[in-house]
Amino acid sequence: MTSRAQLSQERSRQRREALLNAALDLFVEGGSRAVTHRAVAAAAGLPAATTTYYFATIDELLREALQHHIQGWLATMARLADVDVQGLVGFITKDTSVEFAAGIFAQRPATTATRELAVILGAARDPQLREAAVTALTTATDVLVKLLVSAGIPDPSGLAEDMVSVVAGVALRRSAGVNIEAEEAVKVVRALRALVIGHLIDDEAGTQMLEDLRQQVLSGRSDESP
């Protein structure tokens, strides 16, 4: 049978969790200025004095809310490291890869992308939370490295870093609503395929291709000269 003390502890935990989630929602919607004791308590559906009971200052509340969210995001990334790489290998074929990307977008809508960006950028601006933001991004890279190794991609570290950059850029585009989701799925596949293909071409071949392109450009300019 659950004791009265245990019930009290669980209620306290739930209230604290509600305050952290409310603070994060307000931060995403309006930045740090929107996060006040009164606003957080109201958003959490709790008495106004509740926030000061659990958190000495609004800065402490906001920092813990961001930290709490990033820790949850890291746990999600850790679970992704155990998924089957079939979807990743699907990027080798165009049609299945677009379907795979569209499926991910359906599970993680644009609102989720907006939230993640706001949280990581907010943490990056705070000297006391910057390390957490760095950890979030490097953990995402580490997860991709493991997936790329499983997919048979050699020396994947640099490729994983580049892929994280593309994913972050796609999240920004989705937040702004630049493209409809179906178009965005096609564009992200195009970008990631280009990265993988570029990674698989050895340095000598890649350098030669760039030199050939440079010569074509210079030759075209020369032909246009009087």
Same domain membership, residue 51 and residue 69: no
pLDDT score of 226: 54
Same domain membership, residue 71 and residue 47: no
- Tell me if 138 is assigned to some domain: yes
Same domain membership, residue 192 and residue 117: yes
Q: What is the CATH number of the domain that holds 121?
A: 1.10.357
pLDDT score of 36: 94
Same domain membership, residue 121 and residue 36: no
- Tell me if 224 is assigned to some domain: no
Both tokens of residue 139?
Answer: 């953990």
**Burial grade of 215 (CB within 10 A; 0-12, 13-18, 19 or more):** exposed
- Nearest partner of 25 among 13, 10, 14, 41, judged by Cα: 41
Report the pLDDT averaged over residues 56-75.
88
> Which residue range(s) make up the domain with 33?
1-55
Span 106-162, pLDDT tens digits: 888 999 888 888 888 888 988 888 998 898 899 889 988 988 888 788 899 999 999
Span 77-119, pLDDT tens digits: 777 666 555 555 555 566 777 887 888 888 889 998 888 888 8
d(CA 94, CA 193): 9
Provide the number of structural domains found in the chain.
Answer: 2
